[in-house]
Structure 1
Amino acid sequence: MRSAAEEADSIESLTTPVADLMPVDRDQMFALYETYYEAVERNGFERDLAEKDAVVIIRRHGTIIGFSTYLVRQQTVGAETVNYLFSGDTVLHSARWGDPVLLRGFFRAAGAAKARTGGRLFWFPIIGGHRTFRILPNFFREFVPAIHGAAAPRLEAIRNAIAAARYGHCFDAATGLVDFGPSQGHLRKQWADVEETAARNRFAAFFLKANPSYFRGVELACLAEFDASNLKRYGITSFAEGLADGR
């Protein structure tokens, strides 16, 4: 049996430009993604990947067991231009659920991205599963959609501008939902378990109420600012490491 130290040493986390991915990397990524998501096909996966700037990759003994793709772009909102990081396809092997290894890599990548942009940076994910949604209340102080109290109007305006620019008529500002019609990919039923989790977790319950059609690929558009003052202690260490490395 491997010791905890040996197990930790076998896990590698790195951020790789999409252009530097090898064919075997792409094969492993799609195979992992297809294990957990349905209504996906290789050409669509490759098109989505081609749009992204980089991938946070988690390897165990050299094999990809998790990844999160992302891009950084700008959006004009009224008289202001903001930077946002958009998360794309994200998955982690179920054996590592509860392990923060992918989150640590993601927050390091976000810190480096903020250092490169030199200004404010927002996280704009569209979310189809309660586990990803729970990152917001667990790691950020202010975000939309707000779980408690009134929503932050400025955050909503930024979220709505980005979502409308990216998804047009598929985005409904009143609900915050992005509905593509036919699913572009959603968690397989055995992995979603939102109804069961909602009975004991208030954040999962909020997600289910906000996105009741998650099971057919509807996504909830969200927004939070990457900033030390807005991050809880669980994410701020990795974010600060990335911020320092990216300068």
Structure 2
Amino acid sequence: MVQPISALRDTDHAEMYALMERHFLAMSPAGFAADLAEKSAIILLREASSNQLVGFSTITQLESYDEHGPISAIFSGDTIVDRAHWGSPRLAQLWGRYVFARAAQMQPQRVYWFLICSGYKTYRFLPLFFREFYPHHAAPTPPSMQALMDRLAYLKFPEEYCAHQGIVRLQRATPLRPEVAPLTSARQRDPHIAFFARANPGHHAGDELVCLAELSHANLSAAGRRMLREGEGA
């Protein structure tokens, strides 16, 4: 289900906060509410049998420019899926259907996915669904893309973006709990996960790696095209 933030009920807020608190440290009701108020839409994932909230992702849109002209960026805020449902593709399908529908409405303007990652599982969505994204272990970030990443990061986090590191260091950081998706040596055999660990060495303290991918059908991987087809058929 995708809906405006304004349509959330008090019970939704309570369920969302409880889900975040189970997975992240240093959560506070006031900080969570302030972050939520900055967003425009939310994707809610509920279990069919119980209607229990098992995941969500908040979304807002930023306007900027690249070397060709005006662009829009869809920013992913708080995103979480309960560990019992990590194998489900449903949140990714709902997200894909929503953001690509938004991108289609804004054609011919270019639209990007702008996200920050304090956990490797979020970063891992980039190589899974997109052919080209940054930063990437196998290629340096082109200067034009780096300039856009810097522009968007300063726009969204003017006091907290460390451009020389490509990191957002939030004043109210909420790192993942140590037992949630730890970055083991076995996991770092994946070159994308190993790169994430190098690029964001402070991830355990809640540092967020700034990332960018163009939201275009041409930039989708085979898995990304499949995710979008399944999302559209849902």
**Scaled by the length of structure 2, what TM-score is found?**
0.91
Which of the numbers 188, 199, 203 marks the counterpart of 1:210?
A: 199
Matched, 1:127 2:117: yes
Q: Which residue of 1 aligns with 2:24?
A: 37
Report percent identity of matched pairs.
33
Which of the numbers 135, 153, 159 marks the counterpart of 1:145?
A: 135
Q: Which residue of 2 aligns with 1:188?
A: 177
- CA positional deviation for 1:238: 4.5
Which of the numbers 39, 45, 66 marks the counterpart of 1:52?
A: 39
Classify the secondary structure of the residue corresponding to 1:87. Answer: strand
Classify the secondary structure of the residue corresponding to 1:185. Answer: coil
Structure 1 CA distance for aligned equivalents of residues 195 and 164 of structure 2: 16
Q: Which residue of 2 aligns with 1:10?
A: none
Matched, 1:154 2:144: yes
Q: Which residue of 1 aligns with 2:224?
A: 235
Which amino acid in 2 is paired with 1:88? Answer: G
Which of the numbers 86, 110, 115 marks the counterpart of 2:75?
A: 86
Structure 1 CA distance for aligned equivalents of residues 20 and 218 of structure 2: 34
Matched, 1:23 2:10: yes
- CA positional deviation for 1:108: 0.9
- CA positional deviation for 1:178: 1.1
Give the structure with the higher percent helix: 1
Query: 2:93, 2:230 within 8 Å by CA — same for their partners in 1?
Result: no
- CA positional deviation for 1:210: 0.5
Structure 1 CA distance for aligned equivalents of residues 42 and 163 of structure 2: 29
Structure 1 CA distance for aligned equivalents of residues 93 and 232 of structure 2: 13
Structure 2 CA distance for aligned equivalents of residues 77 and 110 of structure 1: 20
Which amino acid in 1 is paired with 2:22? Answer: T
Structure 2 CA distance for aligned equivalents of residues 71 and 230 of structure 1: 21
Would you identify which runs of 4 or more consecutive aligned residues in structure 1 move more than 4 Å? Answer: 240-244
Classify the secondary structure of the residue corresponding to 1:222. Answer: strand
Q: CA RMSD in A?
A: 2.1
Which amino acid in 1 is paired with 2:33? Answer: E
Q: Which residue of 1 aligns with 2:210?
A: 221
Query: 2:44, 2:53 within 8 Å by CA — same for their partners in 1?
Result: yes
**Scaled by the length of structure 1, what TM-score is found?**
0.86
Classify the secondary structure of the residue corresponding to 1:45. Answer: helix
Structure 1 CA distance for aligned equivalents of residues 220 and 167 of structure 2: 25
Deviations along 1:154-180, whole A, 9 cap, x unmatched?
A: 222211110012222422222211123
Classify the secondary structure of the residue corresponding to 1:62. Answer: coil
Structure 2 CA distance for aligned equivalents of residues 169 and 72 of structure 1: 19
- CA positional deviation for 1:197: 4.6
